[in-house]
Chain A
Amino acid sequence: MARIRKRLFFFDWPLFLAVAAIVVLGVLNLYSATSASGGSRSDIYIQQIYWLTLGAGLGTLAVAIDYRHIERNAWVAYVGGLVLLVLVFLVGRQVRGSQRWIPIGSFYLQPSEIMKLVLIVALAKFLHHDPKIEGRALKDLVAPGMILAVPMALILAQPDLGTAVVCALIFGTIMLLTHLKLRALFTLAAAFILSAPLTWTYLLKDYQRGRILSFIDPNTDVLAEGWHTHQSLIAIGSGGFWGKGFKLGTQNQHHFLPDQHTDFPFPVWAEEQGLLGACLLIGLYMFVVLWGLKIAAQAKDRFGAVTAVGVSALVFWQVIINLGMVMGLLPVVGVTLPLFSYGGSSVIAIMVGLGLLLNVSIRRFSF
């Protein structure tokens, strides 16, 4: 009992409340985003509440277990994640030209969302057992690089560019946490720049190239790719300072926003709640990210620190890419806004990830 009371004392209320606030605003926003569709999607916010509840349950589990147990089973989780990614190709369902989902009853599991989290844990496990004081050379990056490369290749093959990019960014953030030798850094940067044309020609699909082209020059094909961004900007901009009011966003209600409930929930929010509401939401995300870094800094061991940085990076990059995309700063890639976008796999992965973050936070003084 005393232990539990001690845990409750260390419980990270600021992080918990910030996440709870995002969850509540997210559900309200989904309710508005789908209310326009007249029936077909109007129960989506209810489903989201189911996922959030399930996610909260799994997240509580992730808080409750001592994360050293997780560290011990990290490779099992990693292999499990890879198996799911392979399964996608065997029993997966094709939607809009890409194969990302495994049907389980009426639910579609998206393993790439789970994989982001598993990747963090696997990298944390690797670095936990690979402490280096004198700095890492290029050859020291081969092993963690492989940990990234296998799932990333599978995700790119689906194809799911957005998730692959997020995985790469999480990996990059985690590796920058370690002490890289300058030479290694420069070599990596040079390799990245040199590989860009090859990636463009061989790795990217036509529609992905189109999105990037229409981002560079919005006039190329406004109807197809740039159209979404254009309408998104109108939604955000027309919201103005005060917003149009809950469920009164015309861009949203009149279906000018594409995928309001998945990729474009932020324009709905910004249109209806204005600059004030948008700043509140961005402030909450920023708090979660910086708080996560603080948790990492105070973590007791390398696994905890890397996990905390990884989860923060996951939230950070998804938020930045999604907002950058809907504000016309980045090309349109399918990256969801954590806890705001509809999607079971994403919600569960994020909730479990935040659970791990809380776990690391609570156990910063224990052992």
Chain B
Amino acid sequence: MVLFSPRRDLGEFRKRYKWMGLFAALLFAVILTRLIQLQVWDAEHFRTLAHQNITQTQTLPASRGLIVDTERRLIAGNEPAYDLLVTPSLLGAPGVQERLVALLNLDKAGADLLQSRIDALPVYRRNHQVLALRNIKRDQLAAVEAHRSELPGVEVRAVAVRHYPFGSLGGHAIGYLNEVSKAEIASQPDTYRLGDLGGRFGVERMLEAELRGARGFRSQLVDARGRILDELVVARSRGALPATQLNHRPPAPGADVQLTLDMELMRVIRKLVSPYPAASIAVVEAQTGMVRALYSKPSYDLNEITGFMSQDSYDALIKNPHRPLIDRTLYETYFPGSTFKPVTALAALADGLVDPKAPIHCGGYHELGNRRFRCTHVHGDVDMQQALGQSCNVYFYKLAEIIGVDRLAHYARAMGFGEPTGIGLDNEASGFIATREWYEKRYKRPYRSGFTLNAAIGQGNTRASVLQIAMAYAALSNGGNLLRPSLVERITSHDGEPIFTFTPTVRQRLPISHAHLETMLEGLRLTVADRSGTAFDPKRKDAVSAGGKTGTAQVTGLGGRSEDDPLAWFFRRSHAWFAGFAPFNNPEFVVVVLVEHGGSGGRTAAPIGLEILNYATKKRAAARLAGGAPDGSHS
């Protein structure tokens, strides 16, 4: 019977079931292993990705603090502008991006920029908004708004752009904004993001931390297409999310800054130097170190250079032979020329090496070995004060031989030369004061006193910035306090809390007695007041009493320019200097004027400097009459 069982022909299959079951179990085991890998080992990673998927963090930009001048004129403010944002996952629909490019009327470069911003977003964040174009034009805004329904995923956001009402005036001191570099983002990842603007140069850079404020953010729940989900869904999904990760932080606006600059004075200065292509002027409060004007010409329009500058404008700046990007007030250094002579005089006086009343004969030149060191003309017998007033080189050559280069260097350093003034701006130059040791190292042969002669009249290897000279003259005129200059009068937080209020800082006292200062200053008075003074102007009447020193600094070389340069004749001319203060008996203001290649200091720089002193002191006096000194001044 068994032979005829229906099961007889099943023998063919018999051994296979076991193997099939084993094979099935094996594949299920593979699936389970993978499941454990995903849900246990990599769970945290995927949880993070899942959370990134559904949260879109909207950045709430902080408004940058305002910058105003000492009389509260707006120097840097914020104006409304429009940024274009896109959500790439929504933009993916066919033709939308092409339509957008056409509506915005973008050229090839613009379209490429748009594409690169979209491509910069990692794939898993394509449902997040990305800043596509900054500061779109009005007609672009109108085009996008009019066709809103055809452009899913395109959004226009109102933002603020920096605006500088004074344009190029004081551009170097104020500074501007542009996009932060990758290195800056790397060093301050909490502060900066790709595409952020940061302060560049000037006050915008110096007070970046105070001005920028802190961005806020708002997390929103989005779905796969980047649509923001309504509150109901948010509430429902919240149970599955870490509670802390859906939050909102309002932006903290930056602090407002009041500068010591007087933009009205800056305007006056701009007008006074209008005939000259390149100039630099600093006006400082003699008693406090507050900087009332810091003017470098040529400058650049901050509104043009901030944010994104067109290549054409940038090329124009680079090609300008007068190099507008250089800050001539504190970055560039010059031979101070005769404005340096008070240092030489005081070095001799302080160590009792010379009787200031003793005349020295000037025959038009001074011979050292077989070299002749020239004077401007034959001064005859001059004492120290006459030598200063008439700017006789021979007198100071002779002093130099007595003083020696190291003593000169010692006193120059005591007056702040050779090191930054500490105003706080980036790229401030130290200038240079040479010593005997330096000369020997540099020239590899025994020291020659000819070096000292040149140093004594501010030539040779002596280099100083306009601001350094201004601070030295402030110290000479205020009785010997070398002050730290300041551009900042007050910083106030957005809600009105004072963060910083200016108080004068004395860097050091000059190691010079009051009597010696008085002796030297009388020479500076003669410059302006004496008929033979280099800055004497018989037409100057009804003007404030002032002291000062002119300088005509020779230029060595053409500063890297070719001999064939059509402007070579100009760049060979001497720089014109004037450094002075007023009123003479109770100095309030110090001014330093440098007119590049302006020729004679007495003829070119001194009238400008004296006019500035006149204007500033008269304005101060008028303010005093009108009821108290202007805000923040110390008089």
A86 interface contact, C-beta 8 A: no
For the complex, what is the distance from the CA of A88 to the CA of B237, rounded to whole Å? 43
* Docked-complex contact B237 and A176, CB < 8 angstroms: no
Q: Knowing A241-B39, A270-B35, A282-B31 are in contact, say whether A177-B16 is a contact too (CB < 8 A).
A: yes
Of chain A, the residue at the smallest CB distance from B233 is: A253
Residue from B6, B36, B50 within 8 A of A250 (CB atoms): B50
The interface stretch among B216-224, B463-471, B520-528, B543-551 is B216-224
Q: Knowing A236-B39, A253-B237 are in contact, say whether A293-B46 is a contact too (CB < 8 A).
A: no
* Docked-complex contact A237 and B38, CB < 8 angstroms: yes
* Docked-complex contact B20 and A238, CB < 8 angstroms: no
A153 interface contact, C-beta 8 A: no
In the assembled complex, which residues on chain B have CB atoms less than 8 Å from the CB atom of A255? 223-225
Known: A177-B16, A274-B39, A294-B21. 19 other contacts (CB 8 A): A176-B20, A234-B50, A237-B38, A237-B47, A237-B50, A238-B43, A238-B49, A239-B39, A248-B237, A250-B237, A250-B241, A251-B53, A293-B20, A297-B17, A301-B7, A309-B20, A320-B27, A320-B31, A324-B31
A108 interface contact, C-beta 8 A: no
In the assembled complex, which residues on chain A have CB atoms less than 8 Å from the CB atom of B24? 286, 289-290, 293, 312, 316
* Docked-complex contact B46 and A234, CB < 8 angstroms: yes
Interface 1/0s, chain A 277-291, versus B by CB < 8 A? 011001001100110
For the complex, what is the distance from the CA of A250 to the CA of B238, rounded to whole Å? 10
Bin the interface of chain A by size: 35 or more
Of residues 394 through 423 on chain B, the ones whose CB sits less than 8 Å from some CB of chain A are none
Of residues 301 through 335 on chain A, the ones whose CB sits less than 8 Å from some CB of chain B are 301-302, 305, 309, 312, 316, 320, 323-324, 327, 329
Q: Give the shortest distance, in Å, between A365 (CB) and chain B (any CB).
A: 11
Residue from B21, B30, B50, B124 within 8 A of A293 (CB atoms): B21
Of residues 253 through 278 on chain A, the ones whose CB sits less than 8 Å from some CB of chain B are 253-256, 270, 274-275, 278
Of chain A, the residue at the smallest CB distance from B45 is: A237
* Docked-complex contact B35 and A254, CB < 8 angstroms: no
Residues of chain B touching chain A, judged by Cβ–Cβ distance below 8 Å, are 6-7, 9-14, 16-17, 20-21, 24-25, 27-28, 30-32, 34-36, 38-40, 42-43, 45-47, 49-51, 53-54, 92, 123-124, 126, 221-225, 229, 233, 236-237, 239-241
Q: Knowing A250-B50, A296-B17 are in contact, say whether A233-B237 is a contact too (CB < 8 A).
A: no
For the complex, what is the distance from the CA of A148 to the CA of B482, rounded to whole Å? 101
Q: Which of B34, B35, B42 has the most CB of A within 10 A?
A: B35
* Docked-complex contact B39 and A240, CB < 8 angstroms: yes
A235 interface contact, C-beta 8 A: yes
* Docked-complex contact B17 and A240, CB < 8 angstroms: no
In the assembled complex, which residues on chain A have CB atoms less than 8 Å from the CB atom of B236? 248, 253
* Docked-complex contact B7 and A237, CB < 8 angstroms: no
* Docked-complex contact B38 and A367, CB < 8 angstroms: no
In the assembled complex, which residues on chain B have CB atoms less than 8 Å from the CB atom of A293? 17, 20-21, 24
* Docked-complex contact A256 and B20, CB < 8 angstroms: no
Q: Give the shortest distance, in Å, between B43 (CB) and chain A (any CB).
A: 4
* Docked-complex contact B31 and A323, CB < 8 angstroms: yes
For the complex, what is the distance from the CA of A235 to the CA of B372, rounded to whole Å? 91
**A-B contacts, 30 listed (Cβ < 8 Å):** A131-B12, A176-B20, A177-B13, A233-B38, A234-B46, A234-B53, A235-B50, A236-B35, A237-B49, A238-B49, A239-B39, A248-B237, A248-B240, A250-B237, A254-B224, A254-B237, A255-B224, A256-B54, A256-B223, A279-B35, A285-B28, A289-B24, A290-B21, A293-B20, A297-B17, A299-B10, A309-B17, A320-B27, A329-B31, A329-B34
Residue from A133, A230, A238, A309 within 8 A of B47 (CB atoms): A238
* Docked-complex contact A301 and B46, CB < 8 angstroms: no
In the assembled complex, which residues on chain B have CB atoms less than 8 Å from the CB atom of A248? 236-237, 239-240
In the assembled complex, which residues on chain B have CB atoms less than 8 Å from the CB atom of A320? 27-28, 31
A132 interface contact, C-beta 8 A: yes
Residue from A238, A249, A367 within 8 A of B46 (CB atoms): A238
For the complex, what is the distance from the CA of A293 to the CA of B28, rounded to whole Å? 15
In the assembled complex, which residues on chain A have CB atoms less than 8 Å from the CB atom of B10? 299, 301-302, 305
In the assembled complex, which residues on chain A have CB atoms less than 8 Å from the CB atom of B240? 244-245, 248-250
* Docked-complex contact B17 and A254, CB < 8 angstroms: no
In the assembled complex, which residues on chain A have CB atoms less than 8 Å from the CB atom of B124? 230
- What are the 10 tightest A-B residue pairs by CB atom distance, in nearest-first order? A237-B46, A238-B50, A131-B9, A240-B43, A248-B240, A255-B224, A238-B46, A237-B38, A254-B223, A275-B39
